[in-house]
A and B are shown apart, each in its own frame.
Chain A
Amino acid sequence: MSEHLVTAYGEELAQLGAEIARLGGLVEAQIADAVDSMTRRDVAQAAAVVAADERIDALQADVEHLTLRLIALRQPVAADLRHAMSAMKISMQLERCGDLAKNIAKRGLILAKGEPVTPFNRSIDRMGKLVVDRLKTVLDAYAAQDVERAVQVWSRDEEVDEHYNAIFRELLTYMMGDPRTITPCTHLLFVAKNLERIGDHATNIAEIVHYEFTGEILAGIRPKFDTLQHG
């Protein structure tokens, strides 16, 4: 990983962005595969997701290493410093998303041992798509240096909350109707919660992207839907 680093400074900065793209692509695929393996009860795929989390951790460590090296050797200032810092911060957010995806896959493995709880496959699937899409949009915005698109992701997260809320209520109703479903439904509840948190991480990344390219901190009130009130 290190012998080819005798490159120009600009190249090093660009490489940092590329590493984030690579890490991001891996995380997007992990989340999509985790949800997919759960709804299709594909044990092999779920196990593959759990195993692939190591690669995410290794990549994240690489990004951290690259960033530290760049800061130590090149002592960047202003936009370059922000670029280095945001790469490190985004990589940490992505690593968390990877952990949440792994957790979903693990729950999928447990769910596959019991009776299928099919009524929720669609809602979970839709929520998963929505969250992956938010993450994808914000990573696209990062790659294209498109602050506007990042802000769009930041300002529209009520959709994820609405989905989470709907699944939450559906699950409660289902569990009340048949207490035997409490164990699988609780796992599904955590899966939905994990997805909601991945959505939050996408929002955080949007804030980091905004700061990197404008130097200003995104402030203001986002439309927020209180999920607890409706429980």
Chain B
Amino acid sequence: MTSRTPSTVAEGGGPFRAMLETLPDPVMLVAGARPEDLAGRRFAFANPAARDLLRLPGAEGRLLSAVRHPAVLEAVDEALFERREATAIWEQGGPRDRCWRVTARPLDDIGDGPERLALVAFSDQTDARRNERMRADFLANASHELRTPLASLSGFIETLRGHARDDEAARERFLSVMQAQADRMARLIDDLLSLSRIELNEHIPPLDRVDLALAAAEVAEALQPLAKERDVALDMTTDGRSVIVGDRDQIIQLAQNLVANALKYAPPGSAVRVRVQGGMDAAAAEASGANGGEARARHALVAPDARGQTFVALTVSDEGPGLAREHLPRLSERFYRAPGQKSGVNAGTGLGLAIVKHLVNRHQGGLIVESELDRGATFVAYFPAAPAMTPRAASAGG
């Protein structure tokens, strides 16, 4: 047995090693001999979670090939050479934009060499950070959206009290505008309330069985008058078994938001197509937005976790102005409006697709948008099909 240098620690076996390997949080053992030799710092052990996070080829290596962030490096140095605990916040960036709190703690020297040791542990702070930011954004947006109609209302009230007091025609006109503004505020508040209700239940999986085709047909029928008013044909086709596990009211709300959205952007004389298709695998459901092989930009707003099951897809296409590629990823953000999108009294609340996204999330489904400027837009919401109603399948599914 040679002295227990850090590298032999990492090579050693036993339950302690297995325990470190299994830890869900990334941990590393860092060693350094001289404070001024930053390039000489190395990690003597990194558990699989750390190797995955930092994309390390092995369990040992140069520290700078694993971590570059200056704040993290400083924390490590403090632990190594000043022998005290230090923390740093590290934002990972990239598609998995995660935020980590990195804690470095000095370890008692167990080797007889000049190297000092420190334990570096990462804990995920992404959700806390994201919630904090979302709350700030949301407050700013919501108050702005509520303020606009309110400002117009008080403007009209002032006018009605002032020079328009005795002008009957103007009064009627103003009152109808005020009515529209008040309706808009009411819609917005309804949507906000509905969104917060959905969020409360987002992590409770639904239990009922819903026929997506029936729900969509019901929505299509209810929106028929609006379609007539806009001179838009509303076509509905269904195909295959379309029963899913879901909350009926929420599925109807989802279909309603998608179809009403399509109707809003469909030009007069065009058609909005609603299709419900059952018995698809994940890949087919994802591809079901593509019509006639047209290559439009597509983006998955929600991607389901579960692979290898059957899905039922609800596809809503319009022939409206469409959206440029760069706006697709942001569509389900609250209050996001692509430039050129309608604003004013008849505009939506900016929450419709955010609601759809949360509903899809709760139902463990997927949501895809496909569009291009001047070539319409297609939304596909797909959900895992409900298991067949035999007792055996029902118990296997539960």
Contact = CB atoms under 8 A, between A and B. Distances in A.
Contacts of A175: none
Interface stretch (B4-12, B57-65, B346-354): B57-65
Contact of B62 (A14, A129, A137): A14
Contacts of B325: 162
A27 to B, nearest CB: 9
Interface of A: 1, 4, 14-15, 17-19, 21-22, 24-26, 28-29, 32, 118, 129, 132-133, 136-137, 139-140, 143-144, 162-163, 166, 170
A194 B179 CA distance: 47
Interface residues of B, number: 25
Nearest to A15: B39
B55 A140 contact: yes
B68 A28 contact: yes
Contacts of A132: 93
A212 to B, nearest CB: 15
Given A4-B37, A18-B39, A22-B39, A29 B94 contact: no
B194 to A, nearest CB: 24
B175 interface: no
Given A14-B62, A28-B68, A139-B68, 16 more contacts: A4-B40, A19-B39, A22-B73, A25-B64, A25-B68, A25-B73, A26-B68, A28-B69, A29-B70, A29-B71, A32-B93, A143-B64, A144-B55, A144-B57, A162-B325, A166-B326
Which of A1, A22, A140 gathers the greatest number of chain B CB atoms within 10 Å? A22
Contacts of B38: 18, 22
A18 B64 contact: yes
Given A18-B38, A26-B70, A28-B68, A129 B93 contact: yes
A32 B97 CA distance: 13
Contacts of A22: 38-39, 64, 68, 73
A133 B55 contact: no
Contacts of A17: 64-65
A4 B140 CA distance: 55
Decide if the interface of chain A is mainly helix, strand, loop or mixed. helix
A25 B70 CA distance: 6
Contact of B36 (A1, A19, A28, A139): A1
A18 B66 CA distance: 10
A15 B36 CA distance: 13
A121 B119 CA distance: 38
Nearest to A7: B40
A32 B45 CA distance: 29
Contacts of A136: 93-94
26 contacts: A4-B34, A4-B36, A14-B39, A17-B64, A18-B62, A18-B64, A18-B65, A19-B39, A21-B65, A22-B38, A22-B68, A24-B68, A25-B69, A28-B69, A29-B71, A32-B91, A32-B93, A129-B93, A136-B93, A136-B94, A140-B55, A144-B55, A144-B65, A162-B325, A166-B326, A170-B339
Given A18-B38, A140-B55, A144-B57, A133 B68 contact: no
Contacts of B69: 25, 28-29
Given A14-B62, A18-B38, A166-B326, A118 B70 contact: no
Interface string B120-141: 0000000000000000000010
A140 B64 CA distance: 11
Contacts of A25: 64, 67-70, 73
A162 B297 CA distance: 14
Nearest to B325: A162
A77 to B, nearest CB: 23
A21 B57 contact: no
Contacts of A129: 93, 97
A15 B39 CA distance: 6
A118 B143 CA distance: 14
Contacts of B73: 22, 25
Contacts of A118: 140
Contacts of B339: 166, 170
Interface in B8-39: 34, 36-39
A22 B55 CA distance: 17
A64 B40 CA distance: 19
A136 B68 CA distance: 10
A187 B73 CA distance: 33
